[in-house]
């Protein structure tokens, strides 16, 4: 005496969620692939490195340095000398986080100047954004 209604020819009253899960996984994959492409609208050719750790999400301010050494905060171009003052204005609570996106052809001195201004503005949390490169092999 089993309680199986399917054996008696009754209708199945359960919803099959497998196709729904498959569609959601495809959408998630598409979102993960396209999200980094939408991150920055300033044309900067980022250097490629071997991916060792995942990027932390920091969404407060993006500082971009183009190949022509133009400096942008988010999408607004500013004079390089005013970076510190602009960041001080935005760092009112002391919890500002900055992503530095420098073109791979920019001289290190330009990036170092920007980093010094970021630190003088009271920003202690900043990171460099780089694209993962599958051709770079990590040394073991």
> CA 58 to CA 65: how far, in whole Å?
18
Task: Please give the pLDDT value at position 48.
Answer: 79
Q: What are residue 57's phi and psi, to 5 degrees? A: -80, 115
Q: What is the pLDDT of residues 20-70, one digit of tens each?
A: 899 999 999 988 887 766 665 677 777 777 766 555 444 478 999 999 999
Task: Please give the pLDDT value at position 139.
Answer: 47
Q: Strand runs (DSSP E) across the chain, as ranges?
A: 48-49, 61-65, 71-73, 76-78, 97-102, 125-128, 131-132
Q: What is the pLDDT of residues 105-137, one digit of tens each?
A: 999 899 999 999 999 998 888 888 877 765 554
Task: Please give the pLDDT value at position 23.
Answer: 92
Task: Please give the pLDDT value at position 59.
Answer: 44
Please give the CATH topology (third level) of the domain spanning 40-132.
Nucleotidyltransferase; domain 5 (3.30.420)
Residue 97 pLDDT more than 50? yes
Domain ranges of the chain: 10-37, 40-132
């Amino acid at each position: 005496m089993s309680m199986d209604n399917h054996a008696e020819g009754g209708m199945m009253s359960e919803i099959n969620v497998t196709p729904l899960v498959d569609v959601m996984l495809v959408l998630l994959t598409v979102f993960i692939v396209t999200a980094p492409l939408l991150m920055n609208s300033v044309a900067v050719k980022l250097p490629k490195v071997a991916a060792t750790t995942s990027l932390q999400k920091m969404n407060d301010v993006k500082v971009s340095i183009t190949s022509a050494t133009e400096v942008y905060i988010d999408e607004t171009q500013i004079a390089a000398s005013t970076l510190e003052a602009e960041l001080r204005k935005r760092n009112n609570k002391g919890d500002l986080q900055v992503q530095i996106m420098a073109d791979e052809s920019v001289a290190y001195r330009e990036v170092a100047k920007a980093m010094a201004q970021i630190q003088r503005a009271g920003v202690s949390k900043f990171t460099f954004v780089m694209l993962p490169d599958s051709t770079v092999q990590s040394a073991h």
